[in-house]
Structure 1
Amino acid sequence: KVYFGNNFIKDIPIEFCENLVHLKVLELRDNQIELVPNEITNLAHLTKLDLTNNDISELPNTIGLMPHLQSLKIEGNKLKQIRPDIIHTGTNRILRHLREKISDEEMQAICGKNLASRPGDNVFPDRYSMRNGNILNLALKNLSDVPDSCFEEAKEAKVTIVDLCKNKFTKVPEGLVLVAGYLTELNLSVNQLKELPDFVKDCNKLKFCDFSKNLLSTLPSSFVDMVSLRELILCNNKLTNVPDCVYGMVGLEILLLNDNGIEEINVEGLKKLKRLASLNLCNNNIHHVPPELGNMTQLRSLELKGNPFRQPRYAILEQGTDSILAYLRDKIPL
């Protein structure tokens, strides 16, 4: 354990990261650090990293792959790549966000250093390692399947988070159903999924699902039963409309549908989502925005840029959600 808080430290030496590979706790809060080196991931045994109240503007995305990190504190910095609401949600959400932002170049570098596992030894964690954070993290492992035995270990560990992002899955591993009763977060982003199985609905405690950057054109109608879901990410898929089942997910607060081929906005469906606070429909094929959308005043974030409609004009879109909603309400026929 190393505590360097409340000093005048301006950088983290690369040699420090390379020589203290068994370090478990590193506190660097209340300093003047501006840059966190990529080599921070050499501290593979780190469980707690406190960077609170520094001058950091960016974090290495690969921190999201640190296998034992349970506590990451980054409040009070100048970070631009991570939204404040993500920071406030806590460590698991921050790490997931960082993993999702890993670029192809970073992936190649990781593979070159053998940090990304290949199918074979030590790819699949045992129940004891999964108990750290209650997570099954198989992100960026170049996998196309996961053996049931891995999910059996996950069940014993009572994991609540499964992260399978940035792999080569063409179908969801069937063993996932073994942890259905515990799961609160599921990340299957950046794979090659063309469809999702019905059994995902049996994960009745799910609050977060990320299916972005796949090849999905619809969702199973049975997903209408996923009423506990709070955040659903479906961006960068092949959707041409919002699946009907989404309108039955009455607990939704965040719905991200950008970068698809969606052609229309179903206001009557969206009105059923009373808790919806954030809706992103950017970069779709929407030719008309119904004025009635303006009555959804509970929305705190509405993104519509990158569509072929003429109204609202871009200048209105630039003014933000309140202005868009007010403009639309003014267009409702008397």
Structure 2
Amino acid sequence: MSRLKGAAGRDTRAGFRTEPRDCTTSVPQGLLKAARKSGQLNLSGRNLSEVPQCVWRINVDIPEEANQNLSFGATERWWEQTDLTKLIISNNKLQSITDDLRLLPALTVLDIHDNQLTSLPSAIRELENLQKLNVSHNKLKILPEEITNLRNLKGLYLQHNELTCIPEGFEQLSSLEDLELHVGENQIEMLGAEHLKHLNSILVLELRDNKLKSVPDEITLLQSLERLDLSNNDISSLPYSLGNLHLKFLALEGNPLRTIRREIINKGTQEVLKYLRSKIRDDRPTQSDSVTETAMTLPSESRVNVHAITTLKTLDYSDKQKTSIPDEVFDAVKSHIVTSVNFSKNELCEIPKRIVELKEMVSDVNLSFNKLSFVSLELCMLQKLTFLDLRNNFLNSLPEEMESLIRLQMINLSFNRFKILPEVLYRIPTLETVLISNNQVGSVDPQKMKMMENLTTLDLQNNDLLQIPPELGNCVNLRTLLLDGNPFRVPRAAILMKGTAAILEYLRDRIPT
């Protein structure tokens, strides 16, 4: 009875009331009954505008079936049911969460992604057992200071909100492992040294699509860091000491970098780290770096950045909210060599046909944050294409003709509408990185994937995978396999937290003999 006393103590009205009858219209009794046994409740995608009281009070009130003397035998007493430890209420229409959240003190996982939340209740501080909090894809402008009280928090997902800063005291979250945090697609302008000092166990730090202007030297304190995503920010230079980290993946695309050349970035993570290490001994800028710095100090409002074309070999027409790319943009290329194209953050419904004019030279194309519902054949003709960013569009398929992209190493398909891993990807043997998180992918083919001998990074987070085929464990070349946020039951969270090698070993052990 100690559990009940603790919960009742948080609400003097608690008593032993029965569940409100109107709760059954939004939450079936069968779900509540199952949740009392399993300690897990999934209310994702139920069109909820508020969380029913019976959910908050699931461990406080007498179950209706107990009052009716149903389903409870001598060995199954309702007061001995399991405390709720996992609550998923994602993909609804919630605009707020009440302080009744404190009635679920045993929660270890709280997933509220894809709602319309503008704030979190201060009562969140009372979830002392919370290990994973996902509030991505909401409308949060600030985080309550009380969030820094969650000392057992290991995973925090904040991406795609409207945050402008990280709360003071964030460094107190010393248990964070799964990230520093996923805070991509916000409005954060500064990452302070104080945020990093005590987060030396984090593995993944995702800060893409913010407004960061610099990276503090203290980034080198994160000695366990494996993945760092800084793409699409306003970063002009990197601390050379970053080269001393043992990163497996570093994303820098979409930044006005002045101290590192595009051709080095295009060679991949290890070449970038090697370059940074080489500059530690002599941090004086080279002549070519100085030229780049002068070239990039241009008015941001200029329609076509000709200097970026001539000095950086970049055709940049991003963040214009345009439905088409003007001819003058392509005309500005003239006889110049262009290796990178950035048309992100517009409202393109189709890929501009004139992109085919660059087929002999372009290796990096960024079409993210548009309204593309299909990939045109013109893109499939870019024979030298190495990096392709198509995230945050409306895509649900890829053309078979993409098989002709025989140099493609990285493709980002996150935040689209894919229900399966596109078949054509299995037939692009050069692929090293496939990012397809936050879609509706329900299955992968491990036999075909095993043929992708160069694939080292596969991000399948936040999809609809009901099961992970054991044969996936044979894809021994994978160094980073991300599976969080899927509805499968095994591997369990404890295995996922151990990392890719442990996941693959677990799967191999379960391959039928």
Scaled by the length of structure 2, the TM-score of the pair is 0.46
| Residue of structure 2 equivalent to 1:125 | 305
| Residue of structure 2 equivalent to 1:177 | 356
Paired residue secondary structure (1:73): coil
CA contact (8 A) 2:231 2:251 kept: no
Equivalent in 297, 300, 309 of residue 476 of structure 2:
297
CA RMSD of aligned residues (A): 3.5
Measure, in 1, the Cα distance between the counterparts of 2:211 and 2:354: 35
- The one of the two structures with greater contact order (alpha-carbon pairs below 8 A, sep at least 6) is 1
| Residue of structure 2 equivalent to 1:311 | 490
Instruction: Quote the offset at 1:153 in angstroms.
Output: 2.3
CA contact (8 A) 1:223 1:245 kept: yes
| Residue of structure 2 equivalent to 1:76 | 241
Q: Does 1:322 align with 2:501?
A: yes
Listed as ranges, the gaps of 5+ residues in structure 1 are 1-32, 42-48, 95-114
Change (3 A) 1:167 1:87: closer
Q: Deviations over 1:188-221 (max 9, x none)?
A: 0111111110111110101100000100010111
Q: Deviations over 1:281-315 (max 9, x none)?
A: 11100111111100111100001111111111111
Instruction: Quote the offset at 1:65 in angstroms.
Output: 4.9
Equivalent in 193, 217, 239 of residue 54 of structure 1:
217
Equivalent in 338, 341, 344 of residue 162 of structure 1:
341
Change (3 A) 1:39 1:212: closer
Q: Deviations over 1:249-279 (max 9, x none)?
A: 1100000111000010111221221100000
Determine what percentage of the aligned residue pairs are the same residue. 28
Measure, in 2, the Cα distance between the counterparts of 1:73 and 1:131: 23
Q: Does 1:233 align with 2:412?
A: yes
Which amino acid in the other structure matches residue 239 of structure 2?
Answer: I
Measure, in 2, the Cα distance between the counterparts of 1:331 and 1:40: 44
Instruction: Quote the offset at 1:129 in angstroms.
Output: 4.1
Q: Does 1:266 align with 2:445?
A: yes
Change (3 A) 1:39 1:328: closer
Scaled by the length of structure 1, the TM-score of the pair is 0.69
Change (3 A) 1:228 1:285: same
Runs of 4+ in structure 1 off by over 6 angstroms are: 38-41
Which amino acid in the other structure matches residue 73 of structure 1?
Answer: L
Which amino acid in the other structure matches residue 195 of structure 1?
Answer: F
Equivalent in 213, 217, 232 of residue 396 of structure 2:
217
CA contact (8 A) 2:419 2:439 kept: yes
Q: How many residues align?
A: 261
Which amino acid in the other structure matches residue 229 of structure 1?
Answer: L
Measure, in 2, the Cα distance between the counterparts of 1:196 and 1:327: 37
Which of structures 1 and 2 has the bigger CA Rg?
2
Change (3 A) 1:91 1:34: farther
CA contact (8 A) 1:146 1:175 kept: no
CA contact (8 A) 1:251 1:273 kept: yes
Change (3 A) 1:330 1:217: same
| Residue of structure 2 equivalent to 1:97 | none
Which amino acid in the other structure matches residue 157 of structure 1?
Answer: H
Measure, in 2, the Cα distance between the counterparts of 1:236 and 1:39: 20
Instruction: Quote the offset at 1:62 in angstroms.
Output: 10
Measure, in 1, the Cα distance between the counterparts of 2:249 and 2:436: 19
Measure, in 1, the Cα distance between the counterparts of 2:308 and 2:506: 53
Q: Deviations over 1:5-33 (max 9, x none)?
A: xxxxxxxxxxxxxxxxxxxxxxxxxxxx9
Measure, in 2, the Cα distance between the counterparts of 1:313 and 1:200: 40
Equivalent in 123, 147, 155 of residue 326 of structure 2:
147
CA contact (8 A) 2:395 2:418 kept: yes
Which amino acid in the other structure matches residue 76 of structure 1?
Answer: S
Paired residue secondary structure (2:250): helix
Q: Deviations over 1:134-178 (max 9, x none)?
A: 001122122221123321322522110001111111111111111
